[in-house]
Structure 1
């Protein structure tokens, strides 16, 4: 009887160890064999997200408007042993969006994840000086192209039983910065787009969530952190008194794309050091 008890205890311990080992492997590779597209991902937040998704096991397809940037980013991540490829994609062009999706399908057999990060902000100044062409460009790239990029991956995600979309907005969707009216409006629109797409795509088992970064040290936000007076003013509004890093955003996106977030859709996660975010 004692031997049987000891044997049972040993078996139970072995089974527990196997389960813990399996769980550990799963958590080390929460996106194993997933295929991810990340737009505007050769530098800054997009690059950090692409790296993290690949580190977590995904096959990642990078994209940018310039081939030189794509080649440089892909080479850097491949040197790290990550499964990364890339292609040129101007998200405002239908043929480029189609090519990005086709690249993932041809190389990896489908698409599981889309991170829509591409955005422009070519205007800073008085709202009365914003031309119609400028409004069209900012809303076209930041909002319309995001919607069209998302719908382009839906058929491929459906073939694989579902997927996850993360749209990158901005703290500017909540805290309106003077001189950036079209950009602020476009980012606020992405909050609504996220909720609308989440409702529409839920029956297809596709989750849609949003990331709203605060002041992150990238070339895109250079005008805000290079000037010390502006930087100190912005830091005063934060609970965490430092400028953010692209990597501060990457783990959140990986989580939202993983099974750990399988019951989350239509939500926006603000990563802004505690800066107030109320519409």
Structure 2
């Protein structure tokens, strides 16, 4: 059942990874603006704290806990802190990701492949398993995996990144099926081309940008804030009967 105010997250505890900038920071701000206590997480504590300070200045509730999701011991430490301080988790936004290589797939170095897999697949998996277990102890919760349109249509010269984002889509469906009985919903958000530091090589290279926008019916790059509303929906009671869904926020790119 949805509440009278289905987007109200008051009393909810949320983790947002990769939340020190870009899409993650905007999601953290919106969740906090709708009442959640948000754990802002990324690799650097100072960067996380800057987002927390902004949330608090706007009247929201948040704290910073640094975590590199490519390191399993850091994931464990994050959840130990959440368990100790709050005893529960209601929302997990898996947003942290890496894309260290832009080039022909045949030239992918083993170290690059390993780093990308460790963060984008293994990191999401263990963040989700820890999160789902903690959610299940208190009646359930919502996991939102930030994948990418590249998980459906591989990005040119972004081979290993695209492969890992396709895995995130499959992972989302697997968790949705197997965790539904525990009250844990799992959905995926697929951003299109978005103006972030992460995508700067695409957005700031005129030839690449022109080519990319030719395949986007809305003919523009998204702003990070335009991804946050979709994450709020999937995390909230408004999506109480939604699990295993793949939500494209891409200006129509995947519709062409």
TM > 0.5 between the two?
yes
On the 8 A contact 1:59/1:83 being kept in 2, the answer is: yes
Residue 75 of structure 1: aligned partner = 53
Unaligned runs of 5+ in 1: 1-21
Residue 56 of structure 1: aligned partner = 34
Q: How does 1:25-104 map to 2 (within 5 A)?
A: 26=5, 30-104=8-82
Residue 184 of structure 1: aligned partner = 162
- Name the TM-score, length of structure 1 as normaliser: 0.87
Unaligned runs of 5+ in 2: none
Residues 66-97 of structure 1 deviation map (CA, whole Å, 9 limit, x = unaligned): 12211212112111111010111011222211
Answering whether residue 203 of structure 2 is matched by residue 225 of structure 1, we say yes
Distance 1:70 1:276 in 2: 32
What's the offset of the Cα at 1:277?
A: 5.4
Please point out which of 249, 253, 265 is paired with 2:227.
249
Please point out which of 237, 256, 271 is paired with 2:215.
237
Please point out which of 102, 107, 110 is paired with 1:124.
102
Aligned length: 254
Distance 2:209 2:163 in 1: 23
Please point out which of 126, 130, 141 is paired with 1:163.
141
Residues 115-153 of structure 1 deviation map (CA, whole Å, 9 limit, x = unaligned): 001111111112221122221111111011101110011
Distance 1:89 1:236 in 2: 37
Q: Which has the larger radius of gyration?
A: 1
Residue 108 of structure 1: aligned partner = 86
Alpha-carbon RMSD across the aligned residues, in angstroms, is: 1.5
- Name the TM-score, length of structure 2 as normaliser: 0.95
Residue 261 of structure 1: aligned partner = 239
Q: After the TM superposition, which of the residue ranges 72-81 and 213-222 deviates more from structure 2?
A: 72-81
Residue 14 of structure 1: aligned partner = none
Instruction: Select the structure that is richer in helix.
Output: 1
Distance 1:47 1:149 in 2: 18
The runs of at least 4 consecutive aligned structure 1 residues that moved more than 4 Å come to none
On the 8 A contact 1:35/1:104 being kept in 2, the answer is: no
On the 8 A contact 2:70/2:115 being kept in 1, the answer is: no
Change (3 A) 1:31 1:180: same
What's the offset of the Cα at 1:34?
A: 0.7
Distance 1:76 1:103 in 2: 22
